[in-house]
Structure 1
Amino acid sequence: MAFPQTRELAPHDPPMLIVDELVEWAADKLTSRYTVSTDNLFYVPGRGMPAYVVFEIMAQSISVHDGMERRQSGHPPQIGFLLGARRFTAQRDWIQLGETLVTKVDAIINEGELRAFNCKVTTDAGEDIAQAEIKVFRPDDPQAFLASGELT
């Protein structure tokens, strides 16, 4: 199956969009890819990309998953809210220029607007890079939620 471009599924624009490609999608999982380039806002010449940026790649992969889910039901992508993360660990400090990262997100909680995902990032060669459990809030109508002022 050919998937849409990630910019059609996530409410991000380059250069902040750091998920290149949707590889696999199902209602409860997603696999994406990203290759580190000098266009990355976080790229440090001679070092690469700091591994903590992988957390953002995980979050954006969840956003792409949500965008695909909304697209399946005829709705446009929407913003969501990161509620928190547990057990984020990175196996190294830097990701090298040209390395391709494979991100897998698996839904472990899907309770209406609340979601939780196990996330794992590896290189395309299979080396473990990072993992975390991420919780998100994805209101059906984010603009109405923000306008309501119910942020507490």
Structure 2
Amino acid sequence: MIDWPLAELLPHAGNMILIDQVLAFDEEQIHTRLTVRPGGLFNRADGSLPAWIGVELMAQSVAAYAGCQAREKGNPVKLGFLLGTRKFECNVEHFPVGSELTIHSLRSLEDANGMGVFECHLTGPGIHATARLNVYSPPNEGDYLVERAPS
């Protein structure tokens, strides 16, 4: 289990941090977890989470992977983008309240320009979701945060 606060690993704030904990990570992968609780930004009326939010949970796991890698090397956590996903599949329509979900993200490709591909699996009681995420962490993230005047 990793003791670093998630707010120091993810470039998210407050209610936008959806995962609860980093369980383990190494050079190639990360394992995270969360318990589905009612009252969040994306919860349905019955407190469950729609299955499509699984893509964001996987993306936050990948972001936590990048944050752990940065922290371990003494570097600041950088901004990253989810460019897209391929073949998100889930065997349920929602994740019930109280479900403990675990996410495993395995790096399958990463280049020096900041492009990466991760194979992700989300599991829980009777729940299985998979996706391949394409991500990008720009070398000069400040270029993406500055609003330019119209030309």
**Do Structure 1 and Structure 2 share a fold, with TM-score over 0.5?**
yes
- Give CA deviations for 1:70-92 in whole Å, capped at 9, x if unaligned: 11221221211112211111110
State yes or no: 1:143 paired with 2:124.
Answer: no
Q: Tell me what 2:72 maps to.
A: 72
**Runs of 5+ unmatched residues, structure 1:** none
Does the Cα contact within 8 Å between 2:11 and 2:79 map onto a contact in 1?
Answer: yes
Q: Tell me what 2:119 maps to.
A: 118
Shift of 1:47: 5.6
Query: Secondary structure at 1:3's aligned position in 2?
Result: coil
Give structure 1 regions of 4+ aligned residues with deviation exceeding 4 angstroms.
none
What is the TM-score with the length of structure 2 in the denominator?
0.89
- Give CA deviations for 1:16-66 in whole Å, capped at 9, x if unaligned: 110100001001100000111113211123261101111100001100100
Equivalent residue letter for 1:86: R
Q: Number of residues paired by the alignment?
A: 147
CA distance in 1, matches of 2:134, 2:26: 18
Q: Tell me what 2:41 maps to.
A: 41
Moved more, 138-147 or 12-21: 138-147
1:1-152 equivalences under 5 Å are 2-46=2-46, 48-112=48-112, 113-123=114-124, 125=125, 127-144=126-143, 147=146
| Percent identical | 27
CA distance in 1, matches of 2:136, 2:2: 28
- Give CA deviations for 1:93-138 in whole Å, capped at 9, x if unaligned: 0111111110000000021211100000001x4x442100001111
CA distance in 2, matches of 1:145, 1:14: 22
What is the TM-score with the length of structure 1 in the denominator?
0.88
CA 72–132 in structure 1, closer or farther in 2 if over 3 Å, else same: same
